Chain A
Amino acid sequence: DVVMTQSPLSLPVTLGQPASISCSSSQSLVHSDGNTYLKWFQQRPGQSPRRLIYKVSNRDSGVPDRFSGSGSGTDFTLKISRVEAEDVGIYYCMQGTHWPGTFGQGTKVEI
């Protein structure tokens, strides 16, 4: 299985300041169809995961534009340009290129 490794696992943040989470995969996530199936999810306390980003950098509808995704191959990043209080939670990357889909360990973002 593809191993997804996130860092850091805990991220203290300051309101209004930027934050960044890294995710690396044990093999390239470029699919044979040319797409890279890397997603980011946010899980607020007591809630289901919510998809924020798909195919590396595509923001889902309703996701604030302070969230952005980037990267290629095996290294990916989720950035929050200015952290707001509602961004507290755990963030997971997930690859869907190789079967089975695998998640990172999660990064806990706290103020």
Chain B
Amino acid sequence: DAKTTQPPSMDCAEGRAANLPCNHSTISGNEYVYWYRQIHSQGPQYIIHGLKNNETNEMASLIITEDRKSSTLILPHATLRDTAVYYCIVSAGAFYNQGGKLIFGQGTELSVKP
């Protein structure tokens, strides 16, 4: 089973920031938080990952709480093309750990509206 909990759906106005929460209260010290998204039935698209520190890249920012039990993915200026299912995944990010498999939950369906 997935080790994360996400709201099933969220709405966001175009141009506004989308803040997607994720709870991972049982995360282990060596586990990373990964975010992927899936647009329609396309392949999951990697967004960002982090261990302890906040991370930012050209797509998004990831804010991880100090106790690492929750995190928030921020899309700073959401567009209609950001409408997708967003998955928060906790993983050791290492092939030696269960072959590196990612366990997907149901994710959050984000709808960006004009």
Partners in one complex: no
